[in-house]
Amino acid sequence: MNRATFPHRFLPWLLVLPQLLISLVFFYWPALQAMWQSTLKEDPFGLSSKFVGLENFRKVLSDPAYLNSIKVTAFFSVVTAFLSMSIALLLAVQAEKVLRGKAFYRTLMIWPYAVAPAIAGMLWLFMFNPSFGTLAWPLRQMGIDWDPLLNSGQAMGLVIAAASWKQISYNFLFFVAGLQAIPKSLIEAAAIDGAGSARRFWTIVFPLLAPTTFFLLVVNSVYALFDTFGIIHAVTGGGPGKATETLVYKVYNDGYNNFLLGSSAAQSVILMAIVITLTAFQFKYVERKVHYG
Partner 1 sequence: MADLGMVGSSKRSRVVAHIFLILGVLIVAFPIYYVVIASTHTLQTILRPPLPLLPGAEGPANYGEAISGGIGRIGGVSVGRLLANTAIVAVGIAVGKIIISMASAYAMVFFRFPFRMACFWLIFITLMLPVEVRIMPTYKVMVQLHLIDTYAGLILPLIASATATLLFRQFFMTIPNELLEAARVDGAGPWRFFKDILLPLSTTNIAALFVILFIYGWTQYLWPLLVTNSNSMNTIVIALRKMISFADADTPWNLVMVTAVLAILPPVLVVVLMQRWFVKGLVETEK
Q: Which of residues 224-263 bind partner 1 (CB under 8 A)?
A: 226, 229-230, 233-234, 248, 251-252, 255-256, 261
Does residue number 202 form part of the binding site for partner 1 (CB under 8 A)?
A: no
At 42, is the secondary structure helix, strand, or coil?
strand
Q: How far is the CB of 67 from partner 1 (least distance, A)?
A: 19
Distance in angstroms (rounded) separating the CA atoms of residues 178 and 54:
45
Identify the residue among 57, 66, 76, 165 touching partner 1 (CB under 8 A).
165
Among 74, 78, 79, 118, binds partner 1 (CB under 8 A): 118
Under rule CB under 8 A, residue 288 binds partner 1: yes
**CA 129 – CA 144 distance, rounded (Å):** 14
Instruction: Report the alpha-carbon distance of residue 140 to residue 247 in Å, rounded.
Output: 32
> Quick one: DSSP state of residue 98?
-
Contact pattern for partner 1 over residues 77 through 96, marking x by CB under 8 A: ----------x--xx--xx-
Between 125 and 160, CB nearer to partner 1: 125
**Cβ 54 to partner 1 shortest distance, Å:** 18
Binding mask 144-163 for partner 1 (x = CB under 8 A): -----x--------------
What's the chain's length in residues? 293
- Tell me whether residue 50 or residue 256 sits nearer to partner 1 (CB atom): 256
- Show contacts with partner 1 in window 166-195 (CB under 8 A): 168-170, 173-174, 177, 184, 187-188, 191
CB 160 within 8 A of CB 81: no
Q: Is 210 in the site for partner 1 (CB under 8 A)?
A: no
How many beta carbons lie within 10 A of that of residue 187, not counting itself?
Answer: 17
Nearest distance from C-beta of residue 142 to partner 1, angstroms: 13
What would the DSSP string read from start to end of 171-229? HHHHHHHHHHTS-HHHHHHHHHTT--HHHHIIIIIHHHTHHHHHHHHHHHHHIIIIITH
